[in-house]
Copies of this chain bind each other. A is one copy, B any other.
Amino acid sequence: MLWNRRDFAKLGAIGLAARYTPIISAQTPAKKTGYAVVGLGRIASHFMPGARMTTNSQITGLVSGHPDKAQRLAAEYGIAKESIYNYENFDEIAKNPAIDAVYVALPNSMHAEYTIRAAKAGKHVLCEKPMATNVADAEAMIAACKAANVKLMIAYRCHYEPTHLKAVKIIRDGLLGNVQSIQSSFGFNIAPGEWRINKKLAGGGPLFDVGIYSLNACRYLTGEEPEHISAYASVIDHDGRFNDVEENVSWTMRFPSGVVASCNTTYGAQMDGFFRVYGSKGWLDVNPAFNYDGLRLTGNFSGTKIDEPSTAKDPSHFQAQAEHFSHCLQNGLEPKSPGEEGLRDMRHITEIYRSAGIKI
């Protein structure tokens, strides 16, 4: 039997998947959640159209060091001129009732500062991954949001993406039997000059940027925290790109149930993101897994073969996560990927770097 979407929807209705699925309110919300986008780079260019596609979110403010870019986007999104800020007057968002939340899409090392400043301005925070570049900053971000009584969500878009949710559900439903082993990788060949290879901005190399997808996937696939981690890192291309950060990291993890996982990340090769899970009753694979679209789930388990390419198009992942956070804000719910989820990854990343002998 081949599985189809209807089968999954049916299982979802009766099964465990419910808790992994954003609950969409049956009623149209009275007022859309207004987001100020902080940092108008590549990821913001996916989030903004994604948020526009939701029923419950809108872009109501921009924070940028580039006034021209901000004005162009403000015109495109119908954002009031007074809702354009820069990094100096950012804190004035406190006085802007059109802004309910900020979406922090800055280089990694700036996540903590702008999350904390947003919290102090009384705004909820949707912060990109990696949450921060060290555990102390991550803890300070959580504390600041608690103190200000605002919600903090980390933008783990795969937590809200149907292919990943289905993979998790297949595992939770026992269709793979006892999971034994997981493989996952994600990396790319980075261009010179990117902020991602500047340690002051990025905090580290591919592990912070893309390896985190594999780490996070191993955690939601197992539903466990790794209790042992060992890692190696290296720089092979001495071409000026890796003076600051590592080029490669490979690491192995052991989870409390005995599941072992091995992951790779790189800035030195095209490494399509994927994960593969091996269980006593079969395997499943999501490949590609971490792209913005074109995901494909295949598997052979419990006597069932599946091959399900996702037809969703970018920016659907960004739409789903904005929809979820806005829904939480409008209904007083905790997001599925709160600051604490980001903090757990930060702790594991710290351990991976420690094991690999890299000081972050």
B234/A258 in contact, CB under 8 A:
yes
Is A262 in contact with B263, judged by CB distance below 8 angstroms?
yes
Distance in Å from the Cβ of A191 to the closest Cβ of chain B?
13
In the complex, what distance in Å separates the CA atom of A250 from the CA atom of B266? 19
Question: Given A180-B247, A250-B252, A252-B252, A260–B237 Cβ distance below 8 Å?
Answer: no
A180 touches B269 (CB 8 A): yes
Do A248 and B252 have beta carbons less than 8 Å apart? no
A73 CB, min distance to chain B CBs, angstroms: 35
Contact B260 A178 (CB under 8 A): no
In the complex, which residues of chain B have a beta carbon less than 8 angstroms from the beta carbon of A189? 280
Tell me which of B232, B234, B283 contacts A270 (CB under 8 A).
B283
CA–CA, A181 and B236, complex, Å:
10
Alpha-carbon separation in the docked complex, A279 to B189 (Å): 9
Within 8 A of B (CB), among A222-247: 228, 230-237, 247
Closest to A260 in B: B250
Query: Which residues on B sit within 8 Å (CB–CB) of A254?
Result: 232, 234, 250
Contact for A234 among B185, B251, B259, CB less than 8 A: B259
Q: Whole-angstrom distance from the CB of A316 to the nearest CB of chain B? A: 26
Indicate if the CB atoms of B183 and A262 lie closer than 8 Å. Answer: yes
Measured in the bound complex, the distance between the Cα atoms of B253 and A185 in whole Å is 15
A184-202 CB contact bits vs B (8 Å, 1 = yes)?
0101010000000000000
A180 and B236 form a contact (CB under 8 A)? yes
Residue of B nearest to A268 (CB): B180
Report if A325 contacts B (CB, 8 A): no
Would you call B280 and A268 a contact (CB within 8 A)? yes
A187 contacts B250, CB within 8 Å? no
Q: Which of B253, B263, B269 contacts A232 (CB 8 A)?
A: B253
Q: How far is the CA of A2 from the CA of B278 in the complex (A)?
A: 33
* Residues A178 and B268 in contact in the complex (CB < 8 Å), given A187-B278, A234-B259: yes
Cα distance, A35 to B253, chains bound together (Å): 45
Q: How far is the CA of A249 from the CA of B223 in the complex (A)?
A: 20
Given A278-B187, A278-B269, the answer on whether A235 and B258 have CB atoms closer than 8 Å is yes
Residues of chain A touching chain B, judged by Cβ–Cβ distance below 8 Å, are 177-181, 183, 185, 187, 189, 228, 230-237, 247-254, 257-264, 266, 268-271, 278-280, 282-283, 300, 355
Could you name 14 residue pairs across A and B whose Cβ atoms are closer than 8 Å? A181-B271, A183-B264, A187-B278, A230-B355, A232-B254, A236-B258, A248-B259, A250-B254, A250-B261, A251-B252, A251-B262, A252-B252, A262-B263, A271-B278
